[in-house]
Structure 1
Amino acid sequence: MKNIVMGVDIGGSHITALLIDIDKKEEIQGSWSRENLDSNASADRIIDAWAATIEKSIRSYQLFPARINIAMPGPMDYQKGICKIKGQGKYEALYGLNIKNMLAIRLGLSSSDINFVNDAASFLKGELFKGSLNNVSQAIGLTLGTGLGTAHTENGCVKDTDLWKMPFLKGVAEDYISTRWFIKRFHEMTGIKVMDVKDLVDNHKGSPYFNAVFLEFSVNLAKFLYKFIRIKMPLAVVIGGNIANAEEFFLENTRRFLASKMGYSFPVEKSLLGEKATLLGAGASI
């Protein structure tokens, strides 16, 4: 069935797989499979974990998808399937490897059955496909998580903007807009080590340092968005990723700081679909 495809979302700490009916723009109920993973494990263990999650989703429907499209953060040679992630605290063991071929062998498939696509572009495509930006023609999208993903629309297509490495403050944008910034900054303020933003929210919400770190993040995000908007001139922004789940602590302040720089209120929306946006966007990719 050519209309049934698999969308896969690979992040710094998880993998999610979902079968999708592209004609209906709907997920296949019961095919959702999500697992946490150690992105600092060996290459073989990472590939095995990916394959196990994909196989679990396939077994749920008893029908093999026409293709498997995998949304993955960069840098990467997406066409060849060669991982180029290095120095980002994740997937170091995969650097320089053809993970497309490795995964195909592990699944018993031809490498032509598997496509790797950019995760931020997939996220924005999903939101345009069936999400909060359904009627917007010019937009930019951010995935806020272990790293920073950026994408934009151009001539009706969605493309990776690759602004994670844009010079920003005393480093690059991802140094200030990512989970690792929260971990580093909260430790600098308090001497306390948190695992991620969820840990920060669950165990430190309401403390003075909690409020301070989110306020600083709001300012940094607004400054970055201002630069991004000036480059691509979109009509709206959509934000997703794990950090977006903590929107109540930063999004209104981000909008306010951005409006003060723009001189008017600019639409900054949180994803309606969440992780499903990336899965739908990946599945819809050719």
Structure 2
Amino acid sequence: MQEVYLCLDVGGTEIKAAPLDKRGNFLAPVRHFPAMAGADRQTLLENFGWIFSSICPENALPIEIDLAFPGPFDYKNGICLLQGLDKYDALYGCNLRRAFSEISGLLEQKIQFINDAAAFALGEMAFGQATQAGRALFVAVGTGCGSAFGVNGFLAEEGTPGVPPNGYFYNAPFRDSCVDDYISRRGLEKLSGEMLGVPLDGRALAERIAAGDERAKACFRCFGEQLCDALQPQIEAFCPDTLCMGDRLWQARHYFCTRWKNFVQTRRLLYILHRILLCGLCRG
């Protein structure tokens, strides 16, 4: 019977999951599941259990479950600390290592957690576009703004100059609030509400742009400018040679490309829009 690792990328909108072998090879295509992030605790746990069983191949033995989970999160002890960020509030304080062990039948030490942006970074540095990077900054924008910092193929150690605590800058002061309130889905919805009179997410804005709506295109350009402003202090402090962006920015890149070209070229950065996360779970 084949031994498999069940790997999940837990987002606020959807959960991407696939079975991998110990070498990081996919044993089945990545599947997408609704996150149900606003549901009650029992519903959320049942949803995770359904995902575990759904992605495990027939005649395969799951030997570990690896989850990339957004922070704040006590990754060492498996305790969810998300609260007030529009996702998984019902899991606050829940020992997910114990809960998932009970659901799956695996020992608690076989349930592993890592920050989702950190898994993204590990995947890119080991298998993707940042294999040659000396200093790399990784940013994944979705329900919130995830980040990680890499040095010579590894996650930057705590205390590395220019690296914020835990590698997070979602809570860094920005304008009248913090980065996460602007560089996120809800930030884009707030911006579109102010500029267009109706709050729209990235997909809805892209549909309007495809239909020829110039105001929607201007909204994305404004979001790109905010993103540059939010990243500038991090880049100046850490001095990366590579900037890797993931998640929904891939679809939006055409709409704020000009500002990005100037932003990147003046800092001699290799700018990469890419995302490899599930492979990074095996390495993490």
Matched position secondary structure for 1:27: coil
SS in 2 for 1:89: coil
Could you tell me how far 1:157 is from its partner in structure 2? 2.1
Shift of 1:258: 4.7
1:250, 1:126 → 2: CA distance?
A: 26
Q: Give structure 2 stretches of 5+ with no counterpart.
A: 157-165
Structure 1 position 103, deviation (Å): 1.7
- Name which of 182, 186, 191 aligns with 2:188: 182
1: CA distance between counterparts of 2:186 and 2:245? 18
- How far off is 1:6 after superposition? 2.6
| Distance of 1:44 and 1:257 partners within structure 2 | 45
Say whether the 8 Å CA contact 2:244–2:273 is kept in structure 1. yes
Which stretch shifts more, 67-76 or 185-194? 185-194
Distance 1:19 1:252 in 2: 39
Identity of paired residues, percent?
27
SS in 2 for 1:44: helix
Instruction: Name the TM-score, length of structure 2 as normaliser.
Output: 0.89
Q: Is the contact between residue 34 and residue 53 of structure 1 (CA under 8 Å) also seen in structure 2?
A: no
Measured after TM superposition, the shift of residue 223 of structure 1 is 1.8
Equivalence for 1:266: 269
**For the Cα contact (< 8 Å) 2:8–2:67, is it kept in 1?**
yes
- Whether 2:99 is the aligned partner of 1:96: answer no
Instruction: Give the conservation status (yes or no) of the 8 Å contact 1:221–1:254.
Output: no
Deviation at 1:3, TM superposition (A): 7.6
| Cα distance between partner residues in 2 of 1:155 and 1:246 | 29
* TM-score, normalised with respect to structure 1: 0.89
What CA distance in whole angstroms lies between the structure 1 residues aligned with 2:64 and 2:238? 32
CA, structure 1 residues 110+180, in 2 after alignment: closer, same or farther (shift >3 Å)? Answer: same
Displacement of 1:31 after TM fit? Answer: 5.0
Q: Tell me how many residue pairs correspond in the alignment.
A: 274
Q: Quickly say closer, same or farther: Cα 1:52–1:37, change in 2 above 3 A.
A: same
Residues 21/187 of structure 1: CA separation in 2 closer, same or farther (3 Å cut) = same
In 2: Cα distance, 1:242 partner to 1:264 partner: 23
Distance in 2, Cα, partners of 1:235 & 1:197: 28
Superposition CA RMSD, Å: 2.0
| Structure-1 separation of matches of 2:3 and 2:168 | 30
Q: Which amino acid aligns with 1:11?
A: G
Name the counterpart of 1:19.
19
Name 1:67's counterpart in structure 2. 64
1:126 corresponding residue in structure 2: 123
**Cα distance in 2, alignment partners of residues 250 and 240 from structure 1:** 15
In 2: Cα distance, 1:33 partner to 1:149 partner: 22
Name 2:236's counterpart in structure 1: 230
**Does the Cα contact within 8 Å between 2:240 and 2:269 map onto a contact in 1?**
no
2:10 maps to 10
Q: How does 1:248-259 map to 2 (within 5 A)?
A: 248-259=254-265
Q: Show the counterpart of 2:163.
A: none
Structure 1 residues 143-162: aligned runs within 5 Å: 143-154=140-151, 156-159=153-156, 160-162=166-168
Distance in 1, Cα, partners of 2:99 & 2:258: 44
Which secondary structure does the structure 2 equivalent of 1:183 belong to?
helix
Structure 2 contact 134–152 (Cα < 8 Å) conserved: no
Aligned to 1:137: 134
CA distance in 2, matches of 1:100, 1:251: 41
Moved more, 144-153 or 167-176: 167-176
Aligned partner of 1:202 in structure 2 is 207
Contact 2:2-2:61 within 8 A present in 1 as well: no
